[in-house]
Structure 1
């Protein structure tokens, strides 16, 4: 699935920012108090994103979206990982307030 086909604008902005390695655009999609979990464990969003995405050249090849565009399934590739993952977003007023990432 192409990034441009993702139906939720905030989710699309995150996936596009990952693809373009655009840290500023990535974080702009999130509310200041946004939470992130990785396999059920609460993580600091900025530290996690820097480590798992920006320093490791991470990106998500989306296979499908569900839940009105708020849940993505796809292959996450980085210098460290190649795995199938699920990304679930909670979006309020156009900003991401929670992201849950899990290996499948």
Structure 2
């Protein structure tokens, strides 16, 4: 999860997908999303950044101020599922 956050903050699309399993999925505000399209729109083309405020559940839940050039700043919760050392799913939504 730390590698995923670091990739987001570095704007590193390649490192972001390297931190994910090949079949990773994402849910945003309770709706399943196409991972590649979502990441491009919500993170990489809009300069997304996470300022992590709280880490819980053995690092698998993070609350952060998330900022991008589309939506500005908001408090977001990220919940990660990890399989074989890589993130296989994450759910994100307003905290």
Encode CA deviations 1:32-86: one digit per residue, 9 max, x unaligned: 1111000110001111000000000001100010100000001000001210000
More strand by share: 2
- TM-score, normalization: structure 1? 0.88
Aligned residues: 94
Matched, 1:51 2:64: no
Q: Which runs of 5+ in 1 are unaligned?
A: 1-10
Aligned-residue CA RMSD in angstroms? 0.6
Matched, 1:13 2:3: yes
Distance 2:84 2:21 in 1: 10
Deviation at 1:90, TM superposition (A): 0.1
Counterpart among 77, 86, 103 of residue 77 in structure 2: 86
1:3 maps to which residue?
A: none
Q: Which runs of 5+ in 2 are unaligned?
A: none
- TM-score, normalization: structure 2? 0.96
